[in-house]
């Protein structure tokens, strides 16, 4: 895959009209930005067609590895985590309807959901997409819906707190796929990150 080191916002689930095509063209004369945007459109299509668009939080890993999860409320007191893992590279996929993938769903407690929502909010509020280098190792996006507002940011694994959050998200992926994994394992990692961030219960 081409190495793209431009500091470009990946518009995974945000309407592409928010981006200024003129700015992209001026800053990116070789067209790498357009390739990134086309890739983002593919990811967005696959998520919106395989997972519900009604979610509280969504986590997306892309480039080197491509997978995602989201959590939604199913009724007044129950929540569900849905995961999707792609078995082929989306960058080079032509027929998106036939992309090989695994989808899993599992109920998850309100306590864990509220913890994850709080952590996403902390990271989204404290980080900016500007300055996040995009290359062909894995980049992670956090997306949060609240009161019909979508907020998002990108993180990488080279910083301790971001790496801890990525570990939690990857464990949530496994939780949905493997019923032998219990919520207590997720809670322990959440508590470690909260301690690092100095977030009190």
Residue with the larger pLDDT of the pair 142 and 24: 142
- Domain assignment present for residue 24? The answer is yes
- Domain assignment present for residue 130? The answer is yes
* Nearest C-alpha neighbor of 143 from the set 167, 117, 166: 117
- Domain assignment present for residue 187? The answer is yes
- Least confident piece of the model among 10-19, 52-61, 104-113: 10-19
Tell whether the model's pLDDT for residue 56 goes beyond 70: yes
Q: What pLDDT is stored for residue 167 in this prediction?
A: 96
Q: Which domain holds residue 144?
A: 16-197
Spatial distance between the Cα atoms of 100 and 95, rounded to a whole number of angstroms: 10
Spatial distance between the Cα atoms of 98 and 50, rounded to a whole number of angstroms: 12
- Domain assignment present for residue 6? The answer is no
Residues 86-131 have pLDDT tens digits of: 988 888 888 888 888 999 999 999 999 999 999 999 999 887 654 4
- Domain assignment present for residue 10? The answer is no
Q: What percentage of the chain has pLDDT greater than the value 90?
A: 45
66 with 89: CB under 8 angstroms? yes
User: Could you give the strand order of the β-sheet that contains 79-86, starting from the edge strand earlier in sequence?
Assistant: 101-108, 79-86, 67-73, 57-62, 139-146, 149-155
DSSP run (H or E) holding 115: helix 110-126
């Amino acid at each position: 895959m081409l190495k793209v080191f431009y500091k470009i916002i990946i518009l995974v689930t945000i309407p592409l009209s928010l981006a200024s095509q003129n700015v992209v063209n001026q800053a990116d004369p070789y067209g790498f930005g357009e390739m990134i945007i086309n890739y983002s459109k593919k990811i967005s299509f696959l998520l919106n067609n395989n997972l519900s668009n009604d979610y509280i939080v969504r986590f997306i890993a892309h480039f080197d590895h491509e997978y995602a999860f989201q959590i939604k409320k199913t009724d007044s007191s129950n929540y569900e985590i849905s995961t999707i893992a792609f078995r082929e590279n989306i960058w080079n996929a032509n027929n998106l309807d036939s992309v090989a993938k695994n989808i899993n769903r599992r109920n998850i407690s309100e306590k864990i959901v509220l913890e994850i929502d709080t952590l996403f909010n902390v990271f989204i509020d404290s980080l900016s997409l500007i300055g996040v280098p995009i290359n062909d190792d894995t980049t992670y996006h956090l997306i949060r819906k609240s009161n019909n507002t979508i907020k998002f940011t990108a993180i990488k694994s080279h910083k301790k707190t971001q790496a801890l959050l990525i570990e939690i998200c990857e464990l949530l992926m496994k939780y949905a796929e493997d019923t032998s994994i219990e919520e207590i394992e997720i809670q322990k990692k959440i508590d470690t990150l909260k301690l690092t961030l100095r977030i009190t219960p």
